[in-house]
């Protein structure tokens, strides 16, 4: 942040890229036919990561003021997305072993 309290131009670029990725991956998650597809799961993971980045960027630049209990909200969203990703991969592996199928989905054209 610059001394006057205004964010740097690179912060605007970062914010616009994060918002763009949030919109794109949110749309891809909604477009997925089932929550069991890898496309849905990875899109949700990336959307949560982007949301954490947005919250962190806005709170670090003083654009939003979070209550003291939520000062680390951006960090917590990142941790939550990592937990979601770990569970997603583990459950996909577990289900594939139990069913005797492949973890990889077939490409449907």
Residues in the chain: 109
Q: Per residue in 55-96, pLDDT tens?
A: 888 888 778 888 877 878 888 998 999 999 999 999 888 888
d(CA 38, CA 94): 15
d(CA 66, CA 77): 14
Contacts of 18 (CB under 8 A, 6+ apart): 50, 53, 54, 57
d(CA 25, CA 40): 9
Q: What is the pTM of this model?
A: 0.76
Strands (E), the chain: none
């Amino acid at each position: 942040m610059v001394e006057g309290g205004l964010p740097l131009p690179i912060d605007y670029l970062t914010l616009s890229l994060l918002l763009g990725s949030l919109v794109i991956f949110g749309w891809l998650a909604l477009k997925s036919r089932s929550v069991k597809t890898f496309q849905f799961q990875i899109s949700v993971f990336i959307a949560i990561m982007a949301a954490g980045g947005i919250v962190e960027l806005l709170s670090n630049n003083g654009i939003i003021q979070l209550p003291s209990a939520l000062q680390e909200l951006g960090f917590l969203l990142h941790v939550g997305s990592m937990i979601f990703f770990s569970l997603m991969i583990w459950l996909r592996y577990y289900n594939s072993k139990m069913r005797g199928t492949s973890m990889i989905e077939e490409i449907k054209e």
